[in-house]
Structure 1
Amino acid sequence: MIGQPSKLFNDSHIRLWNDSFYELKYILAKTEATEYISTHITRPMFFHLYGEHGVQMWRNIWQDQNITIVTGEGSRFDLIPELFDNIKSSKVIYTKAKNAFSDIDNLINKLEVDDGDLILVSLGPTASILANEMAKRGKWILDVGHLAASYKNVFDGGKMPEALDIRKK
C-alpha cells in the first residue's frame, strides 16, 4: 500500500504533495497501486474525525494477537491500555533512538524469526522501509507511528506528537 496525506482530513499537506509530486510520479508509475491509504490514520485528525469508533477500529486489528513492538530505545511510544489492553501478549525489540536505519539489517534478521502474530513499528521514516521489507517476507506489520501520542492528544489533552521529546524523560 502507498500512503499519502489525505485531503479528507485537512489541506495542510497539499503543498508538500504538490512540491514532491514531480519526483514521486516516476516511483508511483512503477507500482501497481490503484488506491492509496491516508497517512493520517495514526494522527490526531483520525481520532477527531472518528472518535471512539476510530479507537475500536484500531483495537480490532490486534484483538487477542501476540504482538511485537519495534521502537527506539527510550521511545515515547506507549502501549496505553485505552488502545492495547486487548492484546494477548507483547514483546519489544529496541533499536537506536536516532538513525535507526543504520540498524535495519539487524532488525530484519530479528523479525524474520519472530513468532508474533503482528509487528507494530514506531520508528520514524525507518518504520516505512522496515514495514515494506517485512511485508515482502510475509510478515503482518504496521507502522503505527504517533498512534498513542495522537490518542493522548485528542482524548487526554496531551501535546501534539511533534511537540513531544523524541525520548521519554
Structure 2
Amino acid sequence: MLEKLKKAADRVFNVKIVNGKPIPVSIENSSTDTKEMEKILRQIHGELKSQKRELETIRLSATSDIMQAVSAFHSRQVMSLRESLNVLATTDKSLARFGDGEFRLMQLSDFNLRFQPNSPDLQSALREVFTSDNENLLIGFPQLFRDAHWSGVYQELWPNLKELVISSQSFANAHMTRPQAFSVLGDEAVRLWRKVWEGKKVVFVTGADSRFELIPELFDNLAGHEMVLSKSVDAYSDLTRLTDTLGDTNADMVLIALGPSGTILASKLADLGVRALDIGHLPNSYQNVFKGAQRPESIPVTRKS
C-alpha cells in the first residue's frame, strides 16, 4: 500500500533534491493521478480504522480485570455527582480533589506537571490527604471513565492506589468541578454550587496570572470576597505561607484553584477548622458547557501577558 502511494506521489509531484532530501516543488495537473491518490488514501484510511478497532479490542482485554476492580470500588464508595454536590450544599464539609495528575504525582517520583515539579515531600503530602480520616473533609475521586486515557491511568496506578483506599470511606465525585457536572445536571449543578456559598464571605486562592474568573453566573451571590495570590509555578513551595495566612481567616470559607497544591491546602485548612473547597477549574467548566468555551485543559495555565 505504501509503495503504491509513493509511486502515485512521484507522478503527481515534481521533486528536486535539497540538502539530500526530496522536496516537492509543483503539482502536475493530472486528474487521473489525483484520483488514484485519493483512492489509495481512502484505502489507507479504511485500514487505519480497522487497526484502531483491533487495538481497542486489545486494550479492553488487557485492562478488563483492572477496570472491573475500579468499577466495583466506584460503585461501593464513590458518590454520584448529585450526591456530592448535595453534601457540599447542605453541610460544612471541605473538599480536596484527586485526578490523574495528583495520582501520578503521588505514586510516580519521576512524574512532573509543567506547573508543579514533583518531590518526596509533595508525594508524602498527597498520600496524607488521600488517607485522611478527618470527618469534615471530603476526598474527591474521579468519575469512572473507560476510555483509553483512563484505562491506561488505572492500569498503571490502581495496583498501588487500591492499597491506600480505606474500605469504609465514602469519596466525593471529583468531577463535580468539571464540565461533566454541568453536562449531566445542567442548571441543577449551578443551583447547588451557588447554594454552597450563598451569602458567605469567601477568600479565593489562586496563582498569580491565573485564568481563574469570578464569573457572576456562579459568584454574584457572595456577601463579600478577597483574593490571595500564590505562585503560578510550584505553588507547593508557598504552602506554608498560605496555611499561616488563611489559618485564622474570618471568612466563611476558602475556595481554592491551585492544582495539586490546592488539594493539599484544602486538607491543611480543614485540619485547622477552616472550611476549604478545592474547586479548581469550576468557572472554566461552567463556561465550557453553557458558553461554548474551550475545555479547561485546553486553556493556558496562566493568562498571556
Interval of TM-score (by shorter of Structure 1 and Structure 2): over 0.9
Aligned-partner SS, 1:167: coil
Q: Output the aligned Cα RMSD.
A: 1.4
Deviates more, 1:34-43 or 1:118-127: 34-43
Deviations 1:85-113 (A, max 9, x none): 00100001001011100000000000112
User: 1:45 and 2:173 equivalent?
Assistant: no
Aligned-partner SS, 2:146: coil
Identify which of 171, 194, 198 aligns with 1:36.
171
Answer 1 or 2: higher relative contact order, Cα 8 Å, separation at least 6. Answer: 1
CA distance in 1, matches of 2:229, 2:283: 17
State the number of aligned residues. Answer: 165
Identify which of 160, 170, 188 aligns with 1:23.
160
Question: Which residues of structure 2 form unaligned runs of 5+?
Answer: 1-137
| Shift in Å, 1:18 | 3.9
Aligned-partner SS, 1:114: coil
CA distance in 1, matches of 2:151, 2:221: 36
Q: Bigger radius of gyration, 1 or 2?
A: 2
Aligned-partner SS, 1:6: coil
Work out whether residues 2 and 33 of structure 1, in 8 Å CA contact, stay in contact via their aligned partners in 2: no
Question: Which residues of structure 1 form unaligned runs of 5+?
Answer: none
What residue in structure 2 maps to residue 75 of structure 1? 210
Deviations 1:92-142 (A, max 9, x none): 100101110000000000011211001000000100000111101111000
CA distance in 1, matches of 2:223, 2:160: 42
Aligned-partner SS, 2:221: coil
TM-score between both structures, scaled by the size of structure 1: 0.92
Identify which of 94, 102, 105 aligns with 2:229.
94
Name the amino acid aligned to 2:213.
D
What residue in structure 2 maps to residue 5 of structure 1? 142
CA distance in 2, matches of 1:130, 1:3: 14
CA distance in 1, matches of 2:181, 2:300: 22
What residue in structure 1 maps to residue 254 of structure 2? 119
Moved over 4 A (4+): none
What residue in structure 2 maps to residue 148 of structure 1? 283
In structure 2, relative to structure 1, the CA distance for the partners of 1:74 and 1:23 (3 Å cut) is same
Aligned-partner SS, 2:165: helix
TM-score between both structures, scaled by the size of structure 2: 0.52
User: 1:162 and 2:297 equivalent?
Assistant: yes
Greater helix proportion: 2
In structure 2, relative to structure 1, the CA distance for the partners of 1:99 and 1:82 (3 Å cut) is same
CA distance in 2, matches of 1:159, 1:28: 34
Percent of aligned pairs with the same amino acid: 36
